[in-house]
Structure 1
Protein backbone atom coordinates (compact mmCIF):
# COMPACT_ATOMS: atom_id res chain seq x y z
CA UNK A 1 0.00 0.00 0.00
CA UNK A 2 1.25 3.50 -0.66
CA UNK A 3 1.74 6.38 1.70
CA UNK A 4 -1.31 8.18 0.31
CA UNK A 5 -3.84 5.65 1.56
CA UNK A 6 -3.08 5.26 5.20
CA UNK A 7 -3.19 8.82 6.62
CA UNK A 8 -6.82 9.19 5.53
CA UNK A 9 -7.93 5.65 6.32
CA UNK A 10 -6.43 5.31 9.78
CA UNK A 11 -9.69 4.51 11.54
CA UNK A 12 -8.76 3.95 15.16
CA UNK A 13 -10.67 4.82 15.09
CA UNK A 14 -9.77 24.72 34.44
CA UNK A 15 -6.90 26.93 34.65
CA UNK A 16 -6.67 30.07 32.49
CA UNK A 17 -3.38 31.09 30.88
CA UNK A 18 -2.39 33.54 28.16
CA UNK A 19 -0.67 33.18 24.82
CA UNK A 20 2.52 35.05 23.96
CA UNK A 21 0.47 37.52 21.92
CA UNK A 22 -1.81 38.02 24.94
CA UNK A 23 -4.78 38.93 22.80
CA UNK A 24 -6.84 35.90 23.76
CA UNK A 25 -7.23 33.75 26.85
CA UNK A 26 -6.82 29.97 26.85
CA UNK A 27 -8.89 27.77 29.16
CA UNK A 28 -8.84 23.99 29.48
CA UNK A 29 -12.40 22.63 29.66
CA UNK A 30 -13.81 19.18 30.35
CA UNK A 31 -17.15 18.78 28.58
CA UNK A 32 -17.80 15.27 29.88
CA UNK A 33 -15.89 12.04 30.53
CA UNK A 34 -15.14 11.68 26.83
CA UNK A 35 -14.30 15.22 25.78
CA UNK A 36 -11.51 17.54 26.96
CA UNK A 37 -10.51 20.62 25.01
CA UNK A 38 -9.13 24.13 24.83
CA UNK A 39 -11.24 27.29 24.60
CA UNK A 40 -9.60 30.42 23.20
CA UNK A 41 -11.48 33.69 23.77
CA UNK A 42 -10.42 37.06 22.26
CA UNK A 43 -9.57 39.54 24.97
CA UNK A 44 -11.11 42.69 23.50
CA UNK A 45 -14.15 41.35 21.61
CA UNK A 46 -17.57 41.51 23.20
CA UNK A 47 -19.80 38.52 22.46
CA UNK A 48 -17.54 36.85 19.84
CA UNK A 49 -18.80 34.02 17.66
CA UNK A 50 -17.55 30.53 18.57
CA UNK A 51 -16.03 28.06 16.13
CA UNK A 52 -15.97 24.43 17.28
CA UNK A 53 -13.11 22.65 15.50
CA UNK A 54 -13.44 18.90 14.91
CA UNK A 55 -10.38 16.80 14.09
CA UNK A 56 -9.94 14.36 11.24
CA UNK A 57 -9.34 10.61 11.13
CA UNK A 58 -7.22 8.56 13.47
CA UNK A 59 -6.38 9.16 17.14
CA UNK A 60 -6.01 12.90 16.58
CA UNK A 61 -5.71 15.30 19.49
CA UNK A 62 -6.98 18.85 19.82
CA UNK A 63 -3.84 20.26 18.19
CA UNK A 64 -4.10 18.05 15.10
CA UNK A 65 -1.37 15.65 16.22
CA UNK A 66 -0.99 11.90 16.66
CA UNK A 67 1.75 9.97 18.43
CA UNK A 68 3.64 9.54 15.15
CA UNK A 69 2.62 12.79 13.49
CA UNK A 70 3.09 16.29 14.93
CA UNK A 71 2.24 19.41 12.95
CA UNK A 72 -0.06 21.46 15.26
CA UNK A 73 -2.36 22.29 12.37
CA UNK A 74 -5.55 22.54 14.46
CA UNK A 75 -3.80 24.59 17.14
CA UNK A 76 -2.52 26.98 14.47
CA UNK A 77 -5.99 27.20 12.93
CA UNK A 78 -7.62 27.96 16.28
CA UNK A 79 -5.04 30.58 17.20
CA UNK A 80 -5.29 32.19 13.77
CA UNK A 81 -9.05 32.63 14.21
CA UNK A 82 -8.84 33.77 17.84
CA UNK A 83 -6.17 36.34 16.98
CA UNK A 84 -8.82 37.83 14.70
CA UNK A 85 -11.70 38.10 17.14
CA UNK A 86 -13.26 34.62 17.00
CA UNK A 87 -13.54 32.30 19.99
CA UNK A 88 -12.53 28.71 19.26
CA UNK A 89 -12.90 25.37 20.98
CA UNK A 90 -10.87 22.37 19.85
CA UNK A 91 -10.89 19.02 21.58
CA UNK A 92 -9.23 15.62 21.69
CA UNK A 93 -11.12 12.82 20.00
CA UNK A 94 -12.37 10.38 22.62
CA UNK A 95 -9.91 7.73 21.43
CA UNK A 96 -7.03 9.99 22.45
CA UNK A 97 -8.17 10.07 26.05
CA UNK A 98 -8.69 6.31 26.00
CA UNK A 99 -5.29 5.56 24.49
CA UNK A 100 -3.58 7.78 27.06
CA UNK A 101 -5.27 5.66 29.71
CA UNK A 102 -4.12 2.46 27.97
CA UNK A 103 -7.62 1.60 26.79
CA UNK A 104 -8.64 0.39 23.33
CA UNK A 105 -12.42 0.38 23.01
CA UNK A 106 -13.46 -2.09 20.32
CA UNK A 107 -17.03 -0.90 20.64
CA UNK A 108 -16.40 2.65 19.53
CA UNK A 109 -18.51 3.76 16.57
CA UNK A 110 -18.57 6.68 14.16
CA UNK A 111 -21.78 7.83 15.82
CA UNK A 112 -19.84 8.30 19.07
CA UNK A 113 -17.83 11.08 17.40
CA UNK A 114 -21.08 12.76 16.36
CA UNK A 115 -22.43 12.42 19.90
CA UNK A 116 -19.28 14.08 21.24
CA UNK A 117 -19.59 16.98 18.80
CA UNK A 118 -23.23 17.50 19.72
CA UNK A 119 -22.33 17.48 23.42
CA UNK A 120 -19.84 20.31 22.77
CA UNK A 121 -22.53 22.34 21.00
CA UNK A 122 -24.94 21.77 23.87
CA UNK A 123 -22.31 22.84 26.42
CA UNK A 124 -21.57 26.17 24.72
CA UNK A 125 -25.05 27.13 23.49
CA UNK A 126 -26.00 29.07 26.65
CA UNK A 127 -22.83 31.17 26.39
CA UNK A 128 -22.60 32.02 22.67
CA UNK A 129 -25.15 33.62 20.36
CA UNK A 130 -23.35 32.37 17.24
CA UNK A 131 -21.82 28.89 16.97
CA UNK A 132 -20.17 27.55 13.82
CA UNK A 133 -18.81 24.03 13.40
CA UNK A 134 -15.61 23.57 11.39
CA UNK A 135 -14.79 19.93 10.66
CA UNK A 136 -11.53 18.80 9.10
CA UNK A 137 -11.33 15.68 6.90
CA UNK A 138 -13.31 12.93 8.69
CA UNK A 139 -14.39 15.68 11.08
CA UNK A 140 -16.22 17.33 8.19
CA UNK A 141 -18.83 14.56 8.12
CA UNK A 142 -18.92 14.45 11.92
CA UNK A 143 -19.50 18.20 11.95
CA UNK A 144 -22.06 18.00 9.18
CA UNK A 145 -24.12 15.51 11.18
CA UNK A 146 -23.68 17.47 14.41
CA UNK A 147 -24.78 20.66 12.64
CA UNK A 148 -28.21 19.16 12.16
CA UNK A 149 -28.78 19.62 15.89
CA UNK A 150 -28.83 23.38 15.54
CA UNK A 151 -25.84 25.64 14.93
CA UNK A 152 -25.50 28.81 12.90
CA UNK A 153 -23.03 27.73 10.24
CA UNK A 154 -20.95 24.81 9.00
CA UNK A 155 -17.45 24.81 7.50
CA UNK A 156 -16.02 21.78 5.71
CA UNK A 157 -12.22 21.78 5.63
CA UNK A 158 -10.82 19.12 3.27
CA UNK A 159 -14.00 17.13 3.71
CA UNK A 160 -15.09 14.30 1.41
CA UNK A 161 -18.19 14.43 -0.74
CA UNK A 162 -18.40 10.69 -1.33
CA UNK A 163 -19.28 8.04 1.28
CA UNK A 164 -16.25 6.39 2.87
CA UNK A 165 -16.69 3.08 1.00
CA UNK A 166 -16.44 4.85 -2.35
CA UNK A 167 -13.38 6.76 -1.20
CA UNK A 168 -11.64 3.60 -0.03
CA UNK A 169 -12.37 1.84 -3.30
CA UNK A 170 -11.21 4.80 -5.39
CA UNK A 171 -7.96 5.24 -3.47
CA UNK A 172 -7.09 1.56 -3.57
CA UNK A 173 -7.96 1.33 -7.27
CA UNK A 174 -5.65 4.28 -7.89
CA UNK A 175 -2.73 3.23 -5.68
CA UNK A 176 -2.97 -0.56 -5.42
CA UNK A 177 -5.24 -1.76 -8.25
CA UNK A 178 -4.39 -5.43 -7.66
CA UNK A 179 -6.50 -5.21 -4.48
CA UNK A 180 -9.54 -3.66 -6.18
CA UNK A 181 -11.65 -6.81 -6.39
CA UNK A 182 -10.83 -7.82 -2.82
CA UNK A 183 -11.80 -4.37 -1.66
CA UNK A 184 -15.11 -4.46 -3.52
CA UNK A 185 -15.94 -7.82 -1.99
CA UNK A 186 -15.15 -6.76 1.57
CA UNK A 187 -17.05 -3.49 1.24
CA UNK A 188 -20.12 -5.27 -0.09
CA UNK A 189 -20.00 -7.65 2.87
CA UNK A 190 -19.77 -4.76 5.31
CA UNK A 191 -22.61 -2.91 3.59
CA UNK A 192 -24.77 -5.99 4.06
CA UNK A 193 -24.23 -5.69 7.80
CA UNK A 194 -21.79 -8.57 8.20
CA UNK A 195 -18.13 -8.69 9.21
CA UNK A 196 -15.52 -10.79 7.44
CA UNK A 197 -12.03 -12.16 8.05
CA UNK A 198 -11.57 -12.86 4.34
CA UNK A 199 -9.27 -10.06 3.20
CA UNK A 200 -5.60 -9.82 2.16
CA UNK A 201 -3.19 -9.15 5.06
CA UNK A 202 -2.01 -6.01 3.26
CA UNK A 203 -5.47 -4.50 3.79
CA UNK A 204 -5.53 -5.23 7.53
CA UNK A 205 -5.01 -1.58 8.50
CA UNK A 206 -8.28 -0.77 6.71
CA UNK A 207 -10.35 -3.91 7.29
CA UNK A 208 -9.11 -5.23 10.64
CA UNK A 209 -11.96 -7.11 12.34
CA UNK A 210 -11.80 -4.77 15.33
CA UNK A 211 -12.59 -1.71 13.22
CA UNK A 212 -15.11 -3.24 10.80
CA UNK A 213 -18.12 -2.29 12.99
CA UNK A 214 -16.82 1.30 13.07
CA UNK A 215 -16.46 1.21 9.30
CA UNK A 216 -19.96 -0.18 8.83
CA UNK A 217 -21.39 2.65 10.91
CA UNK A 218 -19.37 5.24 8.96
CA UNK A 219 -20.59 3.82 5.66
CA UNK A 220 -24.19 4.55 6.60
CA UNK A 221 -23.70 8.26 5.89
CA UNK A 222 -23.57 9.93 2.48
CA UNK A 223 -22.20 13.50 2.82
CA UNK A 224 -24.01 14.59 -0.34
CA UNK A 225 -27.39 13.62 1.05
CA UNK A 226 -26.74 15.16 4.46
CA UNK A 227 -25.45 18.51 3.20
CA UNK A 228 -28.39 18.76 0.81
CA UNK A 229 -30.76 18.96 3.78
CA UNK A 230 -28.70 21.37 5.86
CA UNK A 231 -30.56 24.66 6.29
CA UNK A 232 -27.70 26.86 7.51
CA UNK A 233 -24.89 28.74 5.72
CA UNK A 234 -22.09 26.45 4.52
CA UNK A 235 -18.47 27.10 3.55
CA UNK A 236 -16.51 24.38 1.72
CA UNK A 237 -12.72 24.72 1.61
CA UNK A 238 -10.23 22.49 -0.18
CA UNK A 239 -6.77 22.75 -1.72
CA UNK A 240 -5.17 21.76 -5.01
CA UNK A 241 -2.30 19.93 -3.26
CA UNK A 242 -4.53 17.74 -1.07
CA UNK A 243 -3.26 14.17 -1.47
CA UNK A 244 -6.17 12.64 0.41
CA UNK A 245 -9.32 14.57 -0.50
CA UNK A 246 -9.42 15.93 -4.02
CA UNK A 247 -10.99 19.15 -5.21
CA UNK A 248 -13.64 16.99 -6.89
CA UNK A 249 -14.83 15.88 -3.44
CA UNK A 250 -15.37 19.51 -2.46
CA UNK A 251 -17.21 20.13 -5.72
CA UNK A 252 -19.53 17.20 -4.95
CA UNK A 253 -20.52 18.86 -1.69
CA UNK A 254 -21.09 22.14 -3.51
CA UNK A 255 -23.20 20.42 -6.16
CA UNK A 256 -25.56 19.22 -3.44
CA UNK A 257 -25.69 22.55 -1.60
CA UNK A 258 -26.15 25.19 -4.27
CA UNK A 259 -26.01 28.15 -1.89
CA UNK A 260 -22.79 26.97 -0.21
CA UNK A 261 -19.62 28.99 -0.66
CA UNK A 262 -16.82 27.00 -2.29
CA UNK A 263 -13.20 28.08 -1.85
CA UNK A 264 -10.42 26.19 -3.64
CA UNK A 265 -6.96 27.30 -2.52
CA UNK A 266 -3.99 26.89 -4.82
CA UNK A 267 -1.10 24.78 -3.46
CA UNK A 268 -2.88 24.02 -0.17
CA UNK A 269 -2.48 20.49 1.14
CA UNK A 270 -4.68 18.37 3.41
CA UNK A 271 -3.27 20.03 6.54
CA UNK A 272 -4.10 23.54 5.25
CA UNK A 273 -0.40 24.23 4.61
CA UNK A 274 1.04 25.79 1.47
CA UNK A 275 3.19 23.29 -0.44
CA UNK A 276 5.47 24.45 -3.24
CA UNK A 277 7.26 21.11 -3.72
CA UNK A 278 6.36 17.60 -4.85
CA UNK A 279 4.44 14.82 -3.13
CA UNK A 280 7.43 13.94 -0.95
CA UNK A 281 7.59 17.49 0.41
CA UNK A 282 3.83 17.36 0.88
CA UNK A 283 3.95 14.10 2.83
CA UNK A 284 6.86 15.24 5.01
CA UNK A 285 4.82 18.25 6.15
CA UNK A 286 2.54 15.90 8.12
CA UNK A 287 5.32 15.57 10.69
CA UNK A 288 6.78 19.09 10.60
CA UNK A 289 5.95 21.92 12.97
CA UNK A 290 7.29 24.83 10.93
CA UNK A 291 4.39 25.24 8.47
CA UNK A 292 1.84 28.01 9.06
CA UNK A 293 -1.81 27.72 8.08
CA UNK A 294 -2.16 29.22 4.63
CA UNK A 295 -3.62 32.76 5.11
CA UNK A 296 -6.47 32.24 2.64
CA UNK A 297 -8.00 29.65 4.98
CA UNK A 298 -8.22 32.09 7.87
CA UNK A 299 -9.45 34.88 5.60
CA UNK A 300 -12.15 32.71 4.02
CA UNK A 301 -13.36 31.49 7.39
CA UNK A 302 -13.41 34.99 8.90
CA UNK A 303 -15.38 36.37 5.96
CA UNK A 304 -17.87 33.51 6.22
CA UNK A 305 -18.22 33.90 9.99
CA UNK A 306 -18.77 37.64 9.69
CA UNK A 307 -21.49 37.15 7.07
CA UNK A 308 -23.12 34.52 9.25
CA UNK A 309 -22.98 36.71 12.35
CA UNK A 310 -24.45 39.64 10.43
CA UNK A 311 -27.36 37.46 9.30
CA UNK A 312 -28.05 36.35 12.88
CA UNK A 313 -28.05 39.95 14.15
CA UNK A 314 -30.48 41.19 11.52
Structure 2
Protein backbone atom coordinates (compact mmCIF):
# COMPACT_ATOMS: atom_id res chain seq x y z
CA UNK A 1 0.00 0.00 0.00
CA UNK A 2 2.87 2.36 0.80
CA UNK A 3 4.36 1.77 -2.65
CA UNK A 4 1.04 2.64 -4.25
CA UNK A 5 0.90 5.85 -2.25
CA UNK A 6 4.36 6.85 -3.39
CA UNK A 7 3.39 6.15 -7.00
CA UNK A 8 0.29 8.32 -6.58
CA UNK A 9 2.50 11.30 -5.83
CA UNK A 10 5.47 10.69 -8.03
CA UNK A 11 3.58 9.78 -11.15
CA UNK A 12 0.18 11.40 -10.78
CA UNK A 13 -0.60 13.91 -13.54
CA UNK A 14 -2.98 16.75 -14.12
CA UNK A 15 -3.91 20.16 -12.79
CA UNK A 16 -7.10 21.33 -11.09
CA UNK A 17 -8.49 24.82 -10.38
CA UNK A 18 -8.39 24.47 -6.59
CA UNK A 19 -7.49 21.89 -3.96
CA UNK A 20 -11.07 21.59 -2.68
CA UNK A 21 -12.12 19.74 -5.86
CA UNK A 22 -11.04 16.53 -4.14
CA UNK A 23 -13.25 17.37 -1.16
CA UNK A 24 -16.26 17.58 -3.45
CA UNK A 25 -15.74 14.11 -4.86
CA UNK A 26 -14.19 15.26 -8.15
CA UNK A 27 -10.75 13.78 -7.60
CA UNK A 28 -11.33 10.93 -10.06
CA UNK A 29 -12.45 13.23 -12.87
CA UNK A 30 -10.64 16.51 -12.55
CA UNK A 31 -7.26 15.27 -13.73
CA UNK A 32 -8.72 13.86 -16.95
CA UNK A 33 -11.12 16.67 -17.78
CA UNK A 34 -9.12 19.72 -16.78
CA UNK A 35 -5.84 18.68 -18.37
CA UNK A 36 -7.70 18.93 -21.66
CA UNK A 37 -10.26 21.65 -21.01
CA UNK A 38 -8.53 24.03 -18.60
CA UNK A 39 -4.80 23.50 -18.96
CA UNK A 40 -2.91 26.25 -17.30
CA UNK A 41 -4.89 26.20 -14.05
CA UNK A 42 -3.21 26.26 -10.67
CA UNK A 43 -1.26 23.09 -9.94
CA UNK A 44 -2.94 20.77 -7.45
CA UNK A 45 -0.02 19.86 -5.25
CA UNK A 46 1.09 23.46 -4.57
CA UNK A 47 -2.39 24.56 -3.53
CA UNK A 48 -2.80 21.46 -1.41
CA UNK A 49 0.56 22.08 0.26
CA UNK A 50 -0.42 25.63 1.26
CA UNK A 51 -3.85 24.53 2.44
CA UNK A 52 -2.38 21.77 4.57
CA UNK A 53 0.28 24.03 6.08
CA UNK A 54 -2.24 26.78 6.91
CA UNK A 55 -4.65 24.18 8.32
CA UNK A 56 -7.91 25.85 7.19
CA UNK A 57 -9.96 22.70 7.78
CA UNK A 58 -9.78 19.52 9.87
CA UNK A 59 -7.83 16.67 8.33
CA UNK A 60 -10.77 14.28 8.76
CA UNK A 61 -12.69 16.22 6.09
CA UNK A 62 -10.12 15.37 3.44
CA UNK A 63 -11.03 12.61 1.05
CA UNK A 64 -9.12 9.32 1.08
CA UNK A 65 -7.32 10.36 -2.09
CA UNK A 66 -6.08 13.60 -0.50
CA UNK A 67 -5.01 11.82 2.71
CA UNK A 68 -2.96 9.38 0.65
CA UNK A 69 -1.23 12.20 -1.17
CA UNK A 70 -0.47 14.07 2.04
CA UNK A 71 0.93 10.96 3.70
CA UNK A 72 3.05 10.04 0.70
CA UNK A 73 4.30 13.60 0.24
CA UNK A 74 5.42 13.68 3.82
CA UNK A 75 6.90 10.20 3.74
CA UNK A 76 9.08 10.87 0.70
CA UNK A 77 10.07 14.35 1.78
CA UNK A 78 8.19 16.43 -0.77
CA UNK A 79 6.77 18.53 2.09
CA UNK A 80 10.30 19.63 3.03
CA UNK A 81 10.74 22.89 1.12
CA UNK A 82 14.07 23.97 2.60
CA UNK A 83 16.82 25.14 0.28
CA UNK A 84 18.68 22.01 -0.77
CA UNK A 85 19.64 20.00 -3.82
CA UNK A 86 16.44 18.26 -4.87
CA UNK A 87 16.28 15.03 -6.84
CA UNK A 88 13.11 15.49 -8.87
CA UNK A 89 11.67 14.73 -12.27
CA UNK A 90 9.48 16.75 -14.59
CA UNK A 91 9.53 19.81 -16.78
CA UNK A 92 11.98 22.46 -15.65
CA UNK A 93 14.29 20.11 -13.75
CA UNK A 94 17.75 18.80 -14.59
CA UNK A 95 18.48 15.37 -13.17
CA UNK A 96 21.36 15.33 -10.70
CA UNK A 97 22.12 11.66 -11.39
CA UNK A 98 20.52 8.46 -12.71
CA UNK A 99 18.98 7.31 -9.44
CA UNK A 100 15.28 7.06 -8.73
CA UNK A 101 14.11 9.87 -6.43
CA UNK A 102 13.28 9.67 -2.73
CA UNK A 103 15.16 6.42 -1.96
CA UNK A 104 13.15 4.23 -4.34
CA UNK A 105 16.26 2.33 -5.49
CA UNK A 106 16.83 1.14 -1.92
CA UNK A 107 13.14 0.30 -1.56
CA UNK A 108 13.15 -1.87 -4.70
CA UNK A 109 16.38 -3.55 -3.60
CA UNK A 110 14.91 -4.47 -0.21
CA UNK A 111 11.66 -5.73 -1.73
CA UNK A 112 13.59 -7.90 -4.19
CA UNK A 113 15.59 -9.42 -1.36
CA UNK A 114 12.39 -10.42 0.41
CA UNK A 115 10.61 -11.58 -2.77
CA UNK A 116 12.90 -12.62 -5.65
CA UNK A 117 9.86 -12.86 -7.95
CA UNK A 118 9.56 -9.08 -8.04
CA UNK A 119 8.71 -7.39 -11.34
CA UNK A 120 9.57 -3.70 -11.44
CA UNK A 121 7.48 -1.27 -13.50
CA UNK A 122 9.38 1.94 -14.20
CA UNK A 123 7.36 5.10 -14.77
CA UNK A 124 10.16 7.52 -15.56
CA UNK A 125 10.86 10.06 -18.25
CA UNK A 126 14.47 9.13 -18.81
CA UNK A 127 17.13 6.49 -18.27
CA UNK A 128 17.80 5.35 -14.69
CA UNK A 129 20.69 3.48 -13.10
CA UNK A 130 18.82 0.43 -11.71
CA UNK A 131 21.43 -0.96 -9.29
CA UNK A 132 18.87 -3.66 -8.41
CA UNK A 133 18.27 -4.84 -12.00
CA UNK A 134 19.90 -8.26 -11.51
CA UNK A 135 17.77 -8.94 -8.41
CA UNK A 136 14.31 -8.63 -10.04
CA UNK A 137 12.62 -11.06 -12.42
CA UNK A 138 11.67 -8.48 -15.04
CA UNK A 139 11.62 -4.75 -15.74
CA UNK A 140 8.81 -3.04 -17.62
CA UNK A 141 9.62 0.48 -18.82
CA UNK A 142 6.21 2.18 -18.87
CA UNK A 143 7.31 5.84 -19.19
CA UNK A 144 4.41 8.25 -18.44
CA UNK A 145 1.49 6.61 -20.27
CA UNK A 146 -1.27 8.86 -18.93
CA UNK A 147 -4.62 8.30 -17.28
CA UNK A 148 -5.09 4.76 -18.62
CA UNK A 149 -1.74 3.48 -17.37
CA UNK A 150 -3.08 1.00 -14.79
CA UNK A 151 -5.13 -1.22 -17.14
CA UNK A 152 -2.51 -0.94 -19.90
CA UNK A 153 0.28 -2.11 -17.59
CA UNK A 154 -1.94 -4.84 -16.10
CA UNK A 155 -2.73 -6.22 -19.56
CA UNK A 156 0.99 -6.47 -20.34
CA UNK A 157 1.90 -8.09 -17.01
CA UNK A 158 -0.87 -10.67 -17.34
CA UNK A 159 -0.01 -11.54 -20.94
CA UNK A 160 -3.16 -10.17 -22.55
CA UNK A 161 -1.00 -7.81 -24.59
CA UNK A 162 2.46 -8.59 -25.94
CA UNK A 163 4.89 -5.74 -25.20
CA UNK A 164 6.58 -4.86 -28.47
CA UNK A 165 8.14 -1.48 -27.73
CA UNK A 166 11.74 -0.45 -28.33
CA UNK A 167 13.79 1.98 -26.28
CA UNK A 168 14.03 5.43 -27.92
CA UNK A 169 17.15 6.22 -25.89
CA UNK A 170 20.19 4.62 -24.28
CA UNK A 171 20.50 3.52 -20.64
CA UNK A 172 24.18 4.11 -19.73
CA UNK A 173 25.97 1.98 -17.17
CA UNK A 174 26.86 5.11 -15.19
CA UNK A 175 27.23 8.86 -15.53
CA UNK A 176 30.83 8.55 -16.70
CA UNK A 177 29.55 7.24 -20.05
CA UNK A 178 27.50 10.39 -20.67
CA UNK A 179 28.73 13.58 -22.36
CA UNK A 180 28.37 15.53 -19.07
CA UNK A 181 28.91 13.36 -15.96
CA UNK A 182 28.47 16.37 -13.66
CA UNK A 183 25.68 18.95 -13.74
CA UNK A 184 26.87 22.52 -14.28
CA UNK A 185 25.70 24.87 -11.56
CA UNK A 186 24.63 22.09 -9.21
CA UNK A 187 23.76 23.48 -5.78
CA UNK A 188 23.64 27.13 -6.82
CA UNK A 189 20.53 29.19 -5.91
CA UNK A 190 17.52 28.91 -8.20
CA UNK A 191 17.84 31.31 -11.15
CA UNK A 192 21.65 31.49 -11.12
CA UNK A 193 22.92 31.85 -14.74
CA UNK A 194 24.75 28.70 -15.82
CA UNK A 195 26.76 28.04 -18.97
CA UNK A 196 26.62 24.56 -20.51
CA UNK A 197 28.79 23.80 -23.54
CA UNK A 198 27.36 21.24 -25.97
CA UNK A 199 30.34 20.08 -27.99
CA UNK A 200 29.31 16.57 -29.07
CA UNK A 201 28.06 17.85 -32.43
CA UNK A 202 25.98 15.25 -34.26
CA UNK A 203 27.06 12.50 -31.86
CA UNK A 204 23.97 12.71 -29.69
CA UNK A 205 22.05 9.82 -28.16
CA UNK A 206 23.03 6.36 -29.37
CA UNK A 207 25.70 7.81 -31.69
CA UNK A 208 27.66 9.13 -28.70
CA UNK A 209 28.02 5.60 -27.32
CA UNK A 210 28.53 3.85 -30.65
CA UNK A 211 31.17 6.18 -32.08
CA UNK A 212 33.15 5.98 -28.82
CA UNK A 213 32.70 2.21 -28.64
CA UNK A 214 31.03 2.39 -25.24
CA UNK A 215 28.91 -0.54 -24.05
CA UNK A 216 25.79 0.84 -22.39
CA UNK A 217 23.67 -1.01 -19.83
CA UNK A 218 20.71 -1.14 -22.25
CA UNK A 219 21.05 0.04 -25.83
CA UNK A 220 18.92 2.24 -28.05
CA UNK A 221 16.30 0.21 -29.94
CA UNK A 222 16.28 -2.66 -27.43
CA UNK A 223 13.04 -4.30 -26.32
CA UNK A 224 11.80 -7.77 -25.42
CA UNK A 225 8.44 -9.42 -25.99
CA UNK A 226 6.67 -12.68 -25.15
CA UNK A 227 7.77 -14.24 -28.44
CA UNK A 228 10.98 -14.54 -30.47
CA UNK A 229 12.00 -13.28 -33.91
CA UNK A 230 14.59 -14.15 -36.50
CA UNK A 231 16.02 -11.47 -38.81
CA UNK A 232 17.69 -12.88 -41.93
CA UNK A 233 18.20 -12.66 -45.69
CA UNK A 234 19.49 -9.10 -45.65
CA UNK A 235 19.92 -8.10 -49.31
CA UNK A 236 20.71 -5.11 -51.50
CA UNK A 237 18.01 -4.65 -54.15
CA UNK A 238 19.24 -1.50 -55.90
CA UNK A 239 22.67 -0.11 -55.02
CA UNK A 240 22.36 3.34 -56.60
CA UNK A 241 18.94 3.91 -55.02
CA UNK A 242 20.07 2.47 -51.68
CA UNK A 243 17.22 -0.05 -51.55
CA UNK A 244 17.48 -3.03 -49.20
CA UNK A 245 15.28 -5.91 -48.03
CA UNK A 246 15.22 -8.19 -45.00
CA UNK A 247 13.05 -11.09 -43.83
CA UNK A 248 11.58 -11.22 -40.32
CA UNK A 249 10.07 -14.40 -38.87
CA UNK A 250 8.14 -14.96 -35.65
CA UNK A 251 9.72 -18.13 -34.28
CA UNK A 252 7.77 -18.10 -31.02
CA UNK A 253 4.29 -19.16 -29.94
CA UNK A 254 2.59 -15.77 -29.55
CA UNK A 255 1.57 -12.96 -31.86
CA UNK A 256 3.93 -10.02 -31.60
CA UNK A 257 5.71 -7.17 -33.34
CA UNK A 258 9.37 -6.68 -34.18
CA UNK A 259 11.27 -3.58 -35.34
CA UNK A 260 14.14 -4.36 -37.72
CA UNK A 261 16.62 -1.47 -37.65
CA UNK A 262 19.03 -0.59 -40.48
CA UNK A 263 22.22 1.26 -39.54
CA UNK A 264 25.10 2.80 -41.41
CA UNK A 265 28.05 1.31 -39.52
CA UNK A 266 31.23 2.38 -41.29
CA UNK A 267 32.52 4.55 -44.10
CA UNK A 268 36.01 3.72 -45.46
CA UNK A 269 36.85 1.88 -42.21
CA UNK A 270 35.87 4.97 -40.19
CA UNK A 271 33.22 4.24 -37.56
CA UNK A 272 30.24 6.37 -38.61
CA UNK A 273 27.19 4.97 -36.88
CA UNK A 274 23.67 6.16 -37.76
CA UNK A 275 20.13 4.75 -37.91
CA UNK A 276 19.04 5.13 -41.53
CA UNK A 277 15.79 3.13 -41.67
CA UNK A 278 13.44 1.02 -39.54
CA UNK A 279 9.99 -0.52 -39.70
CA UNK A 280 7.59 -2.25 -37.34
CA UNK A 281 5.99 -5.51 -38.43
CA UNK A 282 3.38 -7.61 -36.60
CA UNK A 283 3.51 -11.36 -37.13
CA UNK A 284 1.53 -14.42 -36.10
CA UNK A 285 3.44 -17.44 -34.70
CA UNK A 286 5.45 -19.02 -37.52
CA UNK A 287 4.68 -16.17 -39.94
CA UNK A 288 7.43 -14.40 -41.89
CA UNK A 289 7.46 -11.31 -44.09
CA UNK A 290 9.97 -9.42 -46.19
CA UNK A 291 10.44 -5.72 -45.47
CA UNK A 292 11.81 -3.24 -48.00
CA UNK A 293 13.89 -0.21 -47.06
CA UNK A 294 14.79 2.81 -49.21
CA UNK A 295 17.40 5.01 -47.54
CA UNK A 296 17.19 8.78 -47.86
CA UNK A 297 20.66 9.65 -49.29
CA UNK A 298 20.90 12.69 -47.02
CA UNK A 299 21.32 10.30 -44.07
CA UNK A 300 24.72 9.17 -45.37
CA UNK A 301 25.73 12.51 -46.92
CA UNK A 302 27.48 15.67 -45.73
CA UNK A 303 26.07 19.12 -46.38
CA UNK A 304 28.33 21.60 -48.19
CA UNK A 305 27.38 24.97 -46.68
CA UNK A 306 29.52 26.97 -49.08
CA UNK A 307 27.96 25.49 -52.22
CA UNK A 308 24.59 24.71 -50.63
CA UNK A 309 24.34 21.09 -51.68
CA UNK A 310 24.56 17.55 -50.30
CA UNK A 311 27.48 15.23 -51.06
CA UNK A 312 27.64 11.47 -50.68
CA UNK A 313 31.37 10.90 -50.58
CA UNK A 314 32.98 8.21 -52.67
CA UNK A 315 33.98 5.17 -50.67
CA UNK A 316 33.15 1.86 -49.03
CA UNK A 317 29.99 1.89 -46.90
CA UNK A 318 28.99 -0.85 -44.45
CA UNK A 319 25.31 -1.24 -43.53
CA UNK A 320 24.08 -3.52 -40.73
CA UNK A 321 20.63 -4.88 -39.79
CA UNK A 322 19.43 -5.91 -36.34
CA UNK A 323 16.89 -5.24 -33.61
CA UNK A 324 18.87 -2.75 -31.52
CA UNK A 325 21.89 -0.50 -31.94
CA UNK A 326 24.15 -3.15 -30.37
CA UNK A 327 22.54 -6.33 -31.72
CA UNK A 328 23.34 -6.36 -35.44
CA UNK A 329 23.03 -9.74 -37.15
CA UNK A 330 23.94 -9.23 -40.83
CA UNK A 331 26.00 -6.74 -42.85
CA UNK A 332 26.34 -5.54 -46.43
CA UNK A 333 29.33 -3.60 -47.79
CA UNK A 334 28.89 -1.34 -50.83
CA UNK A 335 31.21 0.83 -52.90
CA UNK A 336 29.43 4.08 -53.76
CA UNK A 337 30.41 6.82 -56.18
CA UNK A 338 30.36 10.49 -55.28
CA UNK A 339 26.85 11.89 -55.55
CA UNK A 340 26.03 15.61 -55.32
CA UNK A 341 22.44 16.75 -55.06
CA UNK A 342 20.40 19.73 -53.86
CA UNK A 343 17.59 18.13 -51.89
Q: Is the structural similarity TM-score above 0.5?
A: no
TM-score by length of 1: 0.27
Higher helix residue share = 1
Kindly indicate which of the two structures has a greater share of residues assigned to strand.
2
Per chain length, whose mean CA-contact separation is higher, i.e. which structure has more relative contact order (CA < 8 Å, sep 6+)?
Answer: 1
Q: Which is higher, the Rg of structure 1 or of structure 2?
A: 2
